[in-house]
């Protein structure tokens, strides 16, 4: 995924020397989704899943030299991602990629209006969404699953005004929150504890995502049609910089 990795680094276009090091370091780790898996990976056949945790150690299998060779962990049925969960996460990867695409489209809209602070905020948001994509990507691979990418829908390109664009962003984040909550519900239904635990980062992240979009919506409502007020908000949003989330950078 060289283009996405490059986008992570280059999308913002702001020289952020403090964030550059962890971003680069994390990119090395996340570009191919955490621990790398050889292209020859295959799912071993002919083993019966055991229903109880106490039996998991008993079904450990010899690991072929070309599979998980770079990993030291034992391969068990327990670490395999269930097909239903994998499909749902792959669908979420599509949602997160679309999110990035949508915010980049909003950035382009604001650039065309010469509102460069708003555009900056959206470009940083687009970068963050790619981080979300790569977190899911890495998790699927770490669980022995396969990421399957699908076509990304085209986002809108025009909004009535700045407020309408940020209201659309807030609405989109509320939709993403609902998607994440449905993933948690599915993980619980499947008793997939690792996935449920993994998703908690996103549950917390979505609270922040909705709050930050809503804060700008409220500010723009206060400003109304006041050009000076809009200029002030634009200048404020110009200060946002991309920072790799700690849980991802480490």
The residues binding Fe ion (CB under 5 A) are 96, 129, 132, 209
Minimum distance, C-beta of residue 233 to Fe ion, in the bound complex (Å): 20
Of 31 and 92, which CB lies nearer to Fe ion in the complex structure?
A: 92
Give whichever of 96 and 234 is closer to Fe ion, judged by the CB atom: 96
- Nearest approach, Cβ of 184 to Fe ion (angstroms)? 15
Q: Which is nearer to Fe ion, 11 or 230 (CB)?
A: 11
Q: Alpha-carbon distance 179 to 88, whole Å?
A: 9
CA atoms within 13 A on the CB side of 143: 23
The whole-angstrom separation of Cα 154 and Cα 207 is 26
Compute the Cα dihedral for 6, 10, 11, 17 and give only its sign. Answer: positive
Q: Nearest distance from residue 74's CB to Fe ion, in Å?
A: 33
In the complex, minimum distance from the CB of residue 176 to Fe ion, in angstroms, rounded to a whole number: 6
Residue nearest to Fe ion (CB): 132
- The closest of 15, 16, 33 to 132, measured between CA atoms, is 33
- Tokens at 175, concatenated: 């939709």
Q: Which is nearer to Fe ion, 129 or 167 (CB)?
A: 129
CB of 113 to Fe ion, least distance (A): 22
d(CA 137, CA 34): 8
Closer residue to Fe ion in complex, CB, 230/249: 249
Instruction: Residue 236: count other Cβ atoms within 10 Å of its Cβ.
Output: 14
Q: 44 phi and psi, to 5 degrees?
A: -70, 150
Asked if 125 contacts 158 with a C-beta cutoff of 8 angstroms, the reply is no
Using the minimum distance from each CB to Fe ion, give the nearer residue, 84 or 175: 175
**Number of other CB atoms surrounding residue 41 within 10 Å:** 14
The least distance separating Fe ion from the CB of residue 95, rounded to whole angstroms, comes to: 8
Smaller CB separation from Fe ion, 59 or 91: 91
DSSP assignment string, 176-232: HHHHHHHHHHHHHHTT-HHHHHHHHHHHHHHHHHHHHHHHHHHHHHHHTT-HHHHHH
């Amino acid at each position: 995924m060289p283009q996405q990795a490059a986008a992570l680094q280059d999308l913002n276009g702001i020289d952020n020397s403090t964030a550059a090091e962890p971003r680069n370091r994390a990119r090395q780790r996340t570009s191919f989704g955490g621990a790398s898996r050889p292209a020859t990976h295959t799912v071993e056949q002919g083993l019966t899943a055991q229903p109880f945790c106490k039996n998991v150690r008993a079904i450990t299998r010899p690991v072929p030299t070309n599979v998980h060779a770079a990993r030291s962990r034992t391969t068990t049925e327990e670490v395999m991602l269930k097909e239903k969960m994998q499909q749902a996460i792959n669908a979420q990867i599509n949602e997160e990629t679309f999110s990035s695409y949508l915010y980049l489209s909003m950035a382009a809209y604001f650039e065309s209006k010469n509102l460069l602070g708003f555009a900056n905020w959206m470009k940083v948001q687009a970068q963050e969404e790619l981080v979300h994509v790569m977190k899911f990507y890495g998790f699927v691979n770490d669980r022995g699953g396969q990421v399957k990418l699908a076509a990304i829908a085209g986002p809108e390109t025009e909004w009535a005004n700045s407020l309408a664009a940020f209201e659309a962003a807030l609405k989109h984040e509320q939709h993403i929150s609902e998607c994440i909550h449905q993933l948690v519900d599915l993980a619980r239904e499947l008793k997939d504890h690792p996935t449920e635990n993994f998703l908690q980062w996103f549950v917390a992240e979505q609270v922040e995502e909705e709050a930050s979009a809503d804060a700008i919506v409220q500010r723009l409502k206060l400003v109304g049609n006041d050009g000076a007020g809009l200029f002030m908000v634009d200048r404020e949003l110009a200060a946002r910089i991309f920072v790799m989330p700690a849980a991802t950078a480490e």
